[in-house]
Amino acid sequence: MSLEGKVALVTGSGRGIGREIALLLAGRGVDLVITDIDEASAVKAAEEVKEKGRKAIAVKSDVSNAADVEALFKKAVDEFGRLDILVNNAGITRDTLLVRMKEEDWDAVLAVNLKGAFLCTRAAAKIMMRQRSGRIINISSVIGLMGNVGQANYSASKAGLLGLTKSAARELAPRGVTVNAVTPGFIQTDMTANLPEEVKTSLMNAVPMKKLGEPRDVAELIAFLAGNGADYITGQVIGVDGGMVMS
């Protein structure tokens, strides 16, 4: 599936799932705005995109900061002249049991995972509405659908992202902009790689397919939703979880 000549901005794309999304989109012909709070990882990912023959810029940005987001999208348009795809991937965790959770841990997770997606969606919408075309894809989580012990803040942020997705989809559809959400399950990342073997086994037992997903599994769905094959799909929540959540 070619996305030749499109321009995408992927938040939190210096590493993990975000990096995989950026690299796969580059392989389909997309130019990239790589943005991450970790500037060094963003620069490295941008260089990898360039090695695939696509243009890329790396921008250090805190998506929970409105001024940072405004500057980020200005740089994107100044560099490429347009924006076709936004992937709201940036996210953090501050896990602990509800009764022990500090207010600052709640605020930090909601600020990045939900407020950040709102700020970026608002900025992208202004550009895409003028173009009368665009794709916004939000990376939520199965935890936003089913909850999880010790992740009240994370679960709330990812559930809130689903509401944002559906409301934005209704508002932007008349201007040719689609908004969808993806809910990954347990995906092989640096975080899961460091888990004890017994924890990995427990995770896999919760998945009907009896295996963890790969970042590529998520990236492939993003590429589909960004392409012409998804022209008539908006306001949807699509799982990439090996069957964990079936509705």
Closest CA to 49 of 32, 28, 73, 72: 32
Distance between CA atoms of residues 130 and 149, nearest Å: 43
Assigned token pair, 57? 């810029």
The pair of three-digit structure tokens given for residue 24, joined into one six-digit string: 């796969």
Q: To 5 degrees, how large is the angle CA 227–CA 89–CA 3?
A: 20
Q: Which of the 8 DSSP states describes residue 247?
A: -
Q: Which of 89, 154, 169, 215 is catalytic?
A: 154
232 in active site:
no
DSSP 74-134: HHHHHHHS---EEEE---------GGG--HHHHHHHHIIIIIHHHHHHHHHHHHHHHHT-E
CA-to-CA distance for 224 and 1, rounded, in angstroms? 8
Q: Reduced to 3 states, what is the DSSP secondary structure of residue 230? A: helix
Tokens representing 229 are 């094959």
Express the helix, strand and coil content of the chain in percent, nearest 5 each: 50, 15, 30
The pairing of beta strand 177-184 with beta strand 237-240: parallel
Q: Which residues are catalytic?
A: 154
